Chain A
Amino acid sequence: MSTIKNLSRRSFVKSVGLASGGLILACNTSIFSDNNEEKNNVYFNPNLFVQLNSDGNLILIASRSEMGNGVRTSLTSIIADEMEADWNKVTVKQATGDTKYGDQNTDGSRSVRYLYDTMREMGATAKAMLILAAAKKWQVSPEECSAKNHFIIHSSGKKIAFGDLVTIAKTIKVPTEIKLKPTQNFNYIGKYLRSVDAEDYVNGTAIFGLDKRIDNMKFVAIARCPVTFGAVKSFDKSAALKITGVEDVIEIPRIEKPFGSLGGVAVIATNTWAAFKGKEALKITWNYGENKAYNSDEYMKQITQNVHKQGKVVKDHGNVNNAFKNAYKTTESTFQLPHLVHAPMEVPNAVAWVQEDSCEVWAPTQAPQTTRKDIVSYLQTTEDKVTVNVTFLGGGFGRKSKPDYVLEAVIVSQKIKAPVQVVWTREDDIKHSYYHTTSAQYLKGAIDEKGNVVGWLHRFALPSIVSTFQSGVDYAAGFEISSASNIPFDIDNMKVEVGKAPAHVRIGWLRSVINIPHGFSVNVFADELAYLAKKDPLEFRLNLIGKDRIEDTKNPIKYNTARLKNVLRIAAKNAQWGKELPEGHAYGLAVQHSFYTYVASIVEVSLENEKVKVHNIYTAIDCGTVINKNTVIAQMEGAAVFGMSLAYYGKITAKNGAIEQNNYHDYKMIRMNNAPKVHVEIVDSTENPTGVGEPGVPVIAPAIVNALFKITGKRYYNLPLSEYNLV
Chain B
Amino acid sequence: MVTLYINGKKHTIDADPEMPLLWAIRDIIGLTGTKYGCGKGLCGSCKVLLDGSPVQSCILPISSVEGKQITTIEGSSKNLDLLKEAWVELNVPQCGFCQPGQLIAAAALLDTNDTPTDEDINEAMVGNICRCGTYQRIKNAIHKTVELKKQR
Chain A residues in the interface with B (C-beta under 8 A): 66-70, 194-195, 197-208, 210-211, 213, 219, 244-245, 270-274, 276, 343-347, 392-397, 423, 425-426, 630, 634-635, 637-642, 663-665, 669-673, 675-678
Main secondary structure of the interface of B (DSSP, over half): loop
Judging by beta carbons under 8 Å apart, are B20 and A273 in contact? yes
Interface pairs A-B: 4 shortest CB-CB: A204-B33, A641-B133, A394-B97, A68-B95
Q: Give Cα A149–Cα B17 distance, bound, in whole angstroms.
A: 56
| 16 sample A-B contacts, Cβ–Cβ < 8 Å, listed by A number | A70-B94, A194-B88, A202-B103, A203-B33, A204-B72, A208-B96, A272-B27, A273-B19, A345-B131, A394-B35, A426-B40, A640-B133, A664-B38, A671-B135, A672-B125, A672-B138
Tell me whether A345 and B27 are in contact (CB under 8 A).
no
Among B26, B97, B103, B127, max chain A CB count under 10 A is at B97
Complexed CA–CA distance, A663 and B23 (Å): 19
Contact between A425 and B39 (Cβ–Cβ < 8 Å)? yes
Chain B residues with CB under 8 A of A663: 38-40, 42
CA–CA, A67 to B132, complex, Å?
9
Within B111-145, the residues touching A (CB, 8 Å) are: 121-123, 125-139
Is B33 in contact with A205, judged by CB distance below 8 angstroms? yes
**Pair A219/B27 contact, Cβ less than 8 Å:** yes
Give the interface of B toward A (CB within 8 A).
15-16, 19-20, 23, 26-28, 30-40, 42-43, 45, 72-74, 84, 87-89, 91-100, 103, 121-123, 125-139
> Do B91 and A198 have beta carbons less than 8 Å apart?
yes
Once the chains bind, are A345 and B97 in contact (CB under 8 Å)?
A: yes
Q: Indicate if the CB atoms of B131 and A273 lie closer than 8 Å.
A: no
A630 — nearest CB in chain B belongs to which residue?
A: B91
CB of A273 within 8 A of CB of B98, answer no
In the bound complex, do residue B93 and residue A198 qualify as a contact, i.e. CB atoms below 8 Å apart? Answer: yes
- Find the A residue at minimum CB distance from B89: A194
CB distance from B8 to the nearest CB of A (A): 16
Total number of residue pairs linking A and B with CB closer than 8 Å: 189
Q: B32 near A201 (CB under 8 angstroms)?
A: no
Query: What's the nearest-Cβ distance from chain B to residue A422, in Å?
Result: 13
Knowing that A345-B37, A641-B135 touch, tell me 15 more A-B residue pairs with CB under 8 angstroms.
A68-B96, A194-B88, A201-B87, A203-B33, A204-B31, A204-B72, A211-B26, A272-B36, A276-B39, A345-B35, A392-B96, A393-B95, A638-B134, A640-B133, A675-B136
Q: How far is the CA of A392 from the CA of B97 in the complex (A)?
A: 9
* In-complex Cβ contact of A642 among B19, B34, B74, B133 (8 A): B133
* Interface contact B32-A634, CB-CB below 8 Å: no
Q: Which residue of B lies closest to A244 (CB)?
A: B16
Instruction: Tell me whether A202 and B99 are in contact in the complex, defined as CB-CB below 8 angstroms, given that A272-B26, A634-B91, A638-B94 are known contacts.
Output: yes
Which B residues lie within 8 Å of A637 (CB)?
Answer: 133-134, 136-137
Closest Cβ–Cβ distance, residue B51 to chain A (whole Å): 20
Alpha-carbon gap, A678 to B140, bound state (A): 12
Contact B45 A198 (CB under 8 A): no
Q: How far is the CA of A213 from the CA of B92 in the complex (A)?
A: 27
Name the residue of chain A whose CB is nearest to the CB of B37. A345
Give the docked Cα–Cα distance between A41 and B132 (Å).
44
Cross-chain contact A202 with B87 (CB below 8 angstroms): yes
- Known contacts A68-B95, A245-B16: does B126 contact A673 (CB below 8 Å)? yes
- CA gap between A206 and B100 in the complex, in Å: 11
**Contact check: which of A272, A343, A678 meets B23 at CB < 8 Å?**
A272
Say how far A365's CB is from chain B's closest CB, in angstroms.
Answer: 14
Residues in B neighbouring A677, C-beta threshold 8 A = 136
User: Considering the chains assembled together, what is the distance between the CA atoms of A664 and B46 in angstroms?
Assistant: 14
B95 & A210 in contact (Cβ 8 Å cutoff):
no
Bound Cα distance from A273 to B20, whole angstroms: 8
In the bound complex, residues from chain B placing their C-beta under 8 Å from that of A69 are 94
- Check A395 against B95 for contact (C-beta < 8 Å): yes
**Bound state CA distance, A425 and B40, in angstroms?**
10
| B88 CB → nearest A CB, Å | 4
Q: How far is the CA of A343 from the CA of B19 in the complex (A)?
A: 25
Q: What A residues does B122 contact at CB under 8 A?
A: 672-673
B38, B98, B126: most-surrounded residue (chain A CB, <10 A) = B38
A211 touches B32 (CB 8 A): yes
Instruction: Point out the residues of chain B lying under 8 angstroms from A394, CB to CB.
Output: 35, 95-98
Asked if residues A344 and B131 are in contact (CB atoms below 8 Å), the reply is yes
What is the chain A residue whose CB lies nearest that of B45? Answer: A345
Measured CA separation A635–B93 after assembly (Å):
11
> What residue in chain A is nearest B22 (Cβ atoms)?
A273
Measured CB to CB, the nearest residue on chain A to B99 is A201
Asked whether A203 and B84 contact (CB < 8 A) given A345-B43, A395-B132, the answer is yes
Q: How far is the CA of A273 from the CA of B97 in the complex (A)?
A: 20
* Residues A201 and B133 in contact in the complex (CB < 8 Å), given A272-B23, A426-B39: no
For the complex, give the distance between the alpha carbons of A672 and B133 in Å.
9
Q: B38 and A203: CB pair below 8 A? A: no
The interface residues of chain B lying within 8 Å CB-to-CB of A638 are 94, 132-134
Residue of A with least CB distance to B44: A671
In the complex the two chains form, is B16's CB within 8 Å of A670's CB? no
CA distance A198 to B33 in the complex (A): 14
Nearest A-chain residue to B101, judged by Cβ: A345
A66 to B132, CA, bound (A): 13
Whether the pair A202, B84 counts as a contact (CB closer than 8 A) is yes
The reply to whether B42 and A664 contact each other, CB–CB distance below 8 Å, is: yes
A669 to chain B: closest residue by CB: B129
Closest chain A CB from B106 CB (angstroms): 11
The interface residues of chain A lying within 8 Å CB-to-CB of B35 are: 208, 210, 345-346, 394
Least CB distance from A199 to B in Å reads: 6
Write the nearest CB–CB distance from B58 to chain A, whole angstroms: 9
Partner pick for A671 among B92, B128, B136, CB 8 A cutoff: B128
| Residue in A closest to B119 when the chains form the complex, CB atoms | A673
Least CB distance, A381 to chain B, in whole angstroms? 30
Q: Kindly name the residue among B23, B88, B135 whose own CB sees the greatest number of chain A CB atoms within 10 A.
A: B135
A676 to B133, CA, bound (A): 10
Q: Give the one of B36, B89, B92 with max A CB within 10 A.
A: B36
Q: Would you give the shortest CB distance from B109 to chain A, in whole angstroms?
A: 11
Q: A68, A194, A208: which contacts B132 (Cβ < 8 A)?
A: A68
Identify A345's interface contact among B31, B73, B89, B98, CB under 8 A. Answer: B98
Residue of A nearest to B74 (CB): A204
Contact assessment for B32 and A672 in the assembled complex, using a CB-CB cutoff below 8 Å:
no
- Chain B residues near A199: list those with CB within 8 A: 88
Residues of B within 8 A of A270 (CB): 27
* B38→A426 contact, CB < 8 A: yes
